[in-house]
Amino acid sequence: MILGDADGDRRSRDFTRLRRVGTLIVANLLAFLALESVSRLVLAVAFRPEAPQGADLRDWVVQAKLSFGDGLYLWDPACLWRLRPGYEGADEGAHFWGGAPLRVNSAGHRGPERRIDKPTGVQRALVLGGSHPMGMYVRASESWAGVLETRLRTHGDWEVLNASVPGHTSFQGRRYLETHGAQFEPDLIIVDLGVNDTLSLTTEYPGADKDAAAAAPPPWAMQTDGLLAKSGLYRLIRRLIRGAPDLGPGTPTKGTRVSPEERELNLDAMAQFAESIGARAVFLSQVTVDLAQTGRAVCVFRDAAREPRVDVCALFEAQGAEARRWFVDPVHGNAAGHALIGDLVADVLLREGLVAGAP
């Protein structure tokens, strides 16, 4: 009886210890989940940046760093970076993408899920560009690529694949097309590239794009945070420690990412590559808007000698001081601005007979 009582007491003590450990684990888990919820709320409210009112292109290195750190970018030795297939953005970043968290499909494009190989009977347009054609500040369906797809589908079974990537230059678009583009079997390749070519080099990104592609990726491009980046608590602590923001783009140095001469060569190469795979290249002129003063559109690259050309410059120059109505900042259109561009692209494709089945 004495031995049995001792065994019973030991089992009771073991059970009590296990219950305390379990209670402690559950309590810590609940506390962590509560901190996660509070952290995400703080990030969404206290650190929500307003849409920029002036040109902020000098901060492109900062934006690239943050995108690598949050897992949006995937390093690519050919085109330096591209969107990570299957990426799902956090809720607090939704204001950058029209109110819905950013989603990247399995092909690495912004838009609905699509097969890599082109289905029978389908015609495809592949859009190459930076953050504006990708649709920053608007939903995927509101981007000009989304508007274009809606228009083209009234003339046949069309898919518009939006392969645009924030920060991409004409060099990156060319290399993406040559390395990844053919697998999508596009009938049209629509090029909206050039503004990012003019971005200044910095001490952290001192070489032109063509030189950077021949070297190892810069250290900041590989400083990703992996799974931790999905934690709201981790992101909040990182933000508080680093400051808001703390990742300066470095001291500007002489030169730009892509020279005007190199841009012309890149566009020529894209046109030739399109022809080699049985596609047709279409080019958009490049525009910014002087929101701070005149409100007028400023043409960056007109590409007058290229045909077919979608003259976005003329579209917004005709608006005079009212051009500012169609933009969130100097380079990113709002939903109404994207609608104008999407309709203009569709009109040019129809006029040039590039849409099969068009009247």
pLDDT digits (tens, 9 = 90+) for 334-348: 999 999 999 999 999
* pLDDT tens for each residue of 54-100: 334 446 787 888 888 889 999 999 999 999 999 999 888 899 999 99
In this predicted model, what pLDDT tens digit does every residue of 296-308 receive, in sequence order?
Answer: 999 999 998 899 9
Q: What is the pLDDT of residue 314?
A: 97
Report the predicted TM-score, pTM, of the whole model to 2 decimal places. 0.79
Backbone angles phi and psi of 300, in degrees to 5:
-95, -50
Instruction: Report the helix count and the strand count for the chain, using DSSP H and E.
Output: 10, 11
Model confidence at 310, pLDDT cuts 50, 70, 90, reads very high
User: 57-351 has which CATH code?
Assistant: 3.40.50.1110
Q: Are strands 188-192 and 280-284 parallel, antiparallel or unpaired?
A: parallel
Q: How far apart are the two ends of the chain, measured CA to CA in Å?
A: 99
**Looking at the predicted structure, is the pLDDT value of residue 250 above 50?**
no
Tens of pLDDT, residue by residue over 190-208, are 999 999 999 988 877 888 9
Handedness of CA 106, 107, 109, 115 (dihedral sign): negative
Token pair 């699509």: residue = 114
More confident position, 188 or 244: 188
Question: How many whole angstroms separate alpha carbon 357 and alpha carbon 359?
Answer: 6
pLDDT in tens, 268-295: 999 999 999 999 999 999 999 999 999 9
Residue 325 has what pLDDT? 97
Mean pLDDT comparison of 57-61, 121-125, 236-240, 241-245, highest-scoring range: 121-125
Provide the residue ranges of all domains of the chain, joining segments of one domain with +.
1-46, 57-351
